[in-house]
Chains A and B, each alone.
Chain A
Amino acid sequence: MPDTRHQPPTTERGTTRVVLTLTALAFLTVCLILPLAAVFTEAFRNGVDAYMDAFREPDAQAAIRLTLTVAAIAVPLNLVFGVAASWAVAKFEFRGKSLLITLIDLPFSVSPVVSGLVYVLLFGAQGLLGPWLAAHNIQIIFALPGIVLATVFVTFPFVARELIPLMQDQGTGDEEAALTLGASGFKTFWTVTLPNIRWALLYGVLLCNARAMGEFGAVAVVSGHIRGETNTMPLHVEILYNEYNFVAAFAVASLLALLALVTLAAKSLLEWRYGDAIAGRAGH
């Protein structure tokens, strides 16, 4: 509310505030809200029946199944790694700790396309292990293992980077108390540490899962785009779009957009209810 009689010295004039707020909102509307709205508008352009048709197609169902399978393997793998890594980093002192944290964060700064490429160079037909794999009839690239590996790579740091700063802040006092009272190491972790980190853990898993289901570049490189076999949902969206089947492309895309919205809502709720129990912010 603009107040002309009294001007507090630590804020801007009413009109300045309105102009700044409207500029920021206009920027975010054009950049964020519009693309989100376009996904659902395009998906329902020809009505609900045309929308549902996109999911009756066997290729679409295969893509959804594959995406769920990949996430069901990749997310638990990175969950276990994240807990192990944060335990080692936060509860102990050792040389090279900051180097280890940097290495854990490394996949974030690698282009998704390069993330896929490294596995092609390792396991592809012309790759380092390619001839050996071919001789033993093991297929990694253009098959499920390659897609899982690429997904694990791009989502590698998500859980660990939420847990490490939090567990460093919490120190080792609680665990020492439990150990002194005679609890085993595993019981200490299960009954003392885990309750302390559960919300941050859930937060990291949510973000990890969203990225695992939505990853495109890395998976595109290793998948081979075999319809009904190695196409995840984002790859299926790409193929439909390139075939000018826009309604179906946006229908499948709308499912992924819905996943993004649910993730954002859950993330905001966690930050709002359990902000102190997550507190990953300071550690970036």
Chain B
Amino acid sequence: MADSSRQRRRNAIPGFGLTMGYTLTYLGLIVLIPLGALILRASTLGMAGLWEILADPRVLAALRISFGLSFAAALLDAVFGLLVAWVLVRYAFPGRRFIDAMVDLPFALPTAVAGISLAAIYAPNGWLGAPLESLGIKVAYTPLGIFIALVFVGIPFAVRTVEPLIAEIDRETEEASATLGASRGQTVWRVVLPPLMPAMLTGFALAFARAVGEYGSVIFIAGNLPYLSEIAPVLIVIRLEEFDYAGATGIAVIMLAISFAALLAINLIQAWSRRRFGYA
């Protein structure tokens, strides 16, 4: 926005060399060199070595569990995130401000705390585990338990990406739609929801990316049984404990590649949304 004016006056402000130098040095030391070490280590494996690690049925099963359940959890988060954001923005009810603050709990609550708490709730004698068990549904030590933990960590992403957009919706378009004879359902479906889609997709992608890498809130409820409830991050830790650095690196590189693909997808969605709707 103010690019041209800033461009003209850029030399007036001091400290560029100092702050930029510090930023790049710190970024390099903490983030780029360590990540580079991972890539370097992976490159010594070669494509054949990487392929060998990937072809291990246990690794494949862990990746399938991680990505499949993360996808499902992010999908549920996106749907309920829209609902929660809508209710928080549009409706007045007692305790609204408290509920709004609580949405960020999964950001603030340490993952290990969430993990043991969910494990206790869904244990066969837990608050929800016991009634579900009498219905014949087992949650703890099954993929369903992993799914529940992943839904938990994704909630704030799904809510916070759509919430500001709902708050900014121009009520006049809804009035116009109603004036032209649309029912409330038609107005919501055809006028209100379409512009929210990019934000929902972004929320979905963020929740998905977070869920794929999640470790602390999953391990206690999952039981970590190979081929059944073992997620990829757990397998990395197991490989490290076996001093199989190559195996750990291989899985890590594959996970990194997929996370970056998710990041790229978010950027593409936002670029598309800017063109289509005029905002990201």
Contacts and interface: CB of A to CB of B under 8 A. Distances in A.
Nearest to A81: B26
A214 B34 contact: no
Contact of A263 (B91, B108, B120, B233): B108
A36 interface: yes
B134 interface: no
Interface in B97-112: 97, 99-112
A13 B183 CA distance: 11
A21 B90 CA distance: 10
Contacts of B155: 28, 31-32
Contacts, number: 285
A253 B127 CA distance: 18
B113 A111 contact: no
A221 to B, nearest CB: 6
A10 B174 contact: yes
A253 B114 CA distance: 9
B209 A9 contact: no
Contact of B248 (A102, A117, A122, A179): A117
A117 B175 contact: no
A220 interface: yes
Contacts of B49: none
Interface stretch (A53-61, A86-94, A131-139, A195-203): A86-94
Q: Chain A: interface residue count, which band?
A: 35 or more
A256 B179 CA distance: 53
Contact of B103 (A13, A28, A80, A121): A28
B220 interface: yes
B236 A114 contact: yes
Interface of A is mostly: helix
Nearest to A149: B30
A43 to B, nearest CB: 10
Contacts of B260: 109
Contacts of A10: 171, 174-175, 178
Interface of A: 9-13, 17, 20-21, 23-25, 27-28, 30-36, 38-39, 42, 80-81, 84-85, 87-89, 91-94, 100, 102-104, 106-107, 109-114, 117-122, 124, 126-128, 149, 152-153, 156, 171-172, 175-176, 179, 185, 189, 207, 210, 213-217, 220-221, 233-235, 237-238, 241, 246, 249-250, 253, 256-257, 260-261, 263-265, 267-268, 272, 281-282, 284
15 contacts: A17-B91, A28-B103, A84-B18, A84-B19, A100-B23, A106-B31, A114-B252, A117-B236, A121-B38, A152-B30, A171-B6, A172-B6, A221-B240, A257-B113, A267-B104
Nearest 4 CB-CB pairings of A with B: A111-B213, A214-B110, A9-B178, A217-B215
Interface of B: 2-3, 6-7, 9-10, 12-16, 18-20, 22-23, 26-27, 30-35, 37-38, 40-41, 80, 83-84, 86-88, 90-91, 93, 97, 99-114, 116-121, 126-128, 151-152, 155, 161, 164, 171, 174-175, 178-179, 184, 187-188, 209, 212-216, 220, 233, 236-237, 240, 243, 245, 248-249, 252, 255-256, 259-260, 262-263
